[in-house]
A and B are shown apart, each in its own frame.
Chain A
Amino acid sequence: MTDKTKMTDELIMAYADGQLPDAEAQEVEAAARTDAAIREKIHLYKETAHRLKAAAEDIQPVPDALAQRVSSMLEADTAERNLGAPDNVVAFAPKKWTRQWPAALAASIMLAIGLGTGIAIGPPGTSVDKSPFGITALADPEISEALSNAESGSIIALGSGATLNLIASFIDADDELCREFDYETATGPSIVSVACHSGDTWHPRIAIAANTEQSGDFAPASSLEALETWLLSSGLGEPLDMAVENKLLRELGMKP
């Protein structure tokens, strides 16, 4: 005896789509034999599937411009693979297709560095060491203070005249708090970075210096793509919501 109350729309649809195991499919069939409403629904789902499948065959080719951009990316990828890039080279270093981004994403990446060890962002009171990576700006102790205190979405004017935009927070695989931010100076490059907190210090994991000539506002989108590519492989996961971020920042503030 079939329990008709189990015949939900979802179950009937799954039957019509052939996505039910045999036992359940037989139950739907049995119910349909005695219930015209179920038969009508099976017809509805089969017919919509049929018409949508037919419509799907009429797929548009990609525009030539996109096809060419992708083709260039694949050529660059092939060239890079043939070169056998050493392991310590970051995969998203400038590639030739960066020149082919559309106007909205046009500005070029000048520098992309993965910082596994590298410099630390100085805590307040430390001297600003010369960075081997040429991004001494990140050693500004005011940045460290802002990373430890200001919530994402904050825009902070630093004493140096630069502006710090706090973008988002993450937790890394070691349970450390990481923060994504932009650092912008009036004259120099804009830097997009992710720094993680360990041992009472903020360590940049990545810093991307972006040419700001074509953008009076935030870092250009192409540098964001490099950052997002890095985020994808970094294991940082989804950005934290504000409540969690606030809690973690408070905990950070209470540490000795």
Chain B
Amino acid sequence: MPDSFHVALTEKLPNLRRFALSLCKASHLADDLVQITVERALVARNSYDPASRIEAWLFRILKNAWIDITRKQRVRGQEFDIHDAPDLAGQENHKGDDRLMVANVVDAVETLPLEQREVLILICFEELSYAEAAEILDIPKGTVMSRLSRARTAIAVKVGIK
């Protein structure tokens, strides 16, 4: 009989990878991050409350793993090539014109700063609530809302929603 926890974990792998890509942008790093998330989830499965949505719990593990990796990067300076992870430590490489039109909404998401992108992915892609996103990112709900509002206003401009 299949382990329902394993089944749920496997089903969420594409979502975990998408969120990982939104954080680190390099696919090999994203894959490692997903693997670390699965490893931690297996170790910590007793702390998962089956009454809550598993993806919210998994996204939080993934986000914390990413924070740990960026912390190690700052201390050690040797784990990764910095160019592999342009958004490491919240540094942005997008300095483009906010009014620049893009072909589609996915491209528009890519141009957002990390802090707006991660909120947008969790709420508009993964359909989590504001409160769940706040919990995952460990920021106040009001901050989630202001980042999300700014992200969507920027996207509306870029794809020409009036």
Q: Which residues of A contact B (CB under 8 A)?
A: 9-10, 13-14, 17, 19, 40, 44-45, 47-49, 51-53, 55-56, 58-63, 65-67, 69-71, 73-74, 77-78, 81, 91-92, 101-102, 104-105, 152-153, 165, 167-168, 217-218, 221, 224-225, 228-229, 231-233, 239
A101, B38: Cα distance in complex, Å: 13
Per-residue A-contact encoding for B62-77, CB less than 8 Å = 1, 0 else: 0011001001100110
Bound state CA distance, A14 and B146, in angstroms?
10
**Contact yes or no, A77 B72, CB < 8 A:** no
- Residues from chain B with Cβ under 8 Å of A228 in the complex: 36, 40, 65, 68
Whether the pair A56, B125 counts as a contact (CB closer than 8 A) is: yes
Residue B159 interfacial (CB < 8 Å):
yes
From 10 to 34 in chain B, residues with beta carbon under 8 angstroms from any chain A beta carbon are 10, 13-15, 17-18, 27-28, 31-32, 34
**A10-B145, A44-B153, A48-B155 in contact; A61/B14 too (CB < 8 A)?**
yes
**Is the interface on chain B under 10, 10 to 19, 20 to 34, or 35 or more residues?**
35 or more
Whether A232 and B130, one on each chain, are in contact in the complex, defined by CB atoms closer than 8 angstroms, is no
Q: Per-residue CB proximity of B31-66 to A under 8 Å, as 1/0?
A: 110111011101110000000000000000100110
Q: Are B130 and A168 in contact (CB-based, < 8 A)? A: no
Which of B28, B39, B68, B149 has the most A CB atoms < 10 Å from its CB?
B39
Partner of A51, one of B64, B105, B126, B127: B105
> With a CB–CB cut-off of 8 A, which chain B residues contact A73?
35, 38-39, 42
Secondary structure class of chain A's binding surface, majority of residues? helix
List B contacts of A40 (CB < 8 A).
162
Say yes or no: A52-B31 contact (C-beta < 8 A), given A9-B153, A152-B75: no
User: How far is A224 from B3 in the complex, measured between Cα atoms in Å?
Assistant: 28
Given A59-B14, A225-B36, A232-B64, A48:B156 Cβ within 8 A? yes
A81: nearest chain-B partner, CB-CB: B3
- Residues of B within 8 Å of A56, CB to CB, are 124-127
- Neighbouring A residues of B64 by C-beta, 8 Å: 232
Q: What is the bound-complex CA distance between A224 and B15, given in angstroms?
A: 25
- Flag if A53 contacts B124 (CB, 8 Å): yes
Chain B residues, Cβ within 8 Å of A81: 3
Instruction: Please give, as numbers and ranges, the residues of chain A lying within 8 Å of B159 by CB-CB distance.
Output: 51
Q: Which 4 pairs across A and B sit closest by C-beta, in order of nearness?
A: A52-B124, A56-B125, A10-B145, A48-B152
Verify if B106 is at the interface (C-beta below 8 Å from A). yes
Cβ contacts A to B, 26 pairs, < 8 Å: A9-B146, A45-B149, A47-B156, A48-B105, A48-B161, A52-B105, A53-B124, A55-B105, A55-B109, A56-B127, A59-B15, A60-B17, A62-B14, A65-B31, A69-B35, A70-B34, A74-B9, A91-B43, A101-B35, A102-B32, A217-B78, A225-B36, A229-B40, A229-B43, A232-B61, A239-B71
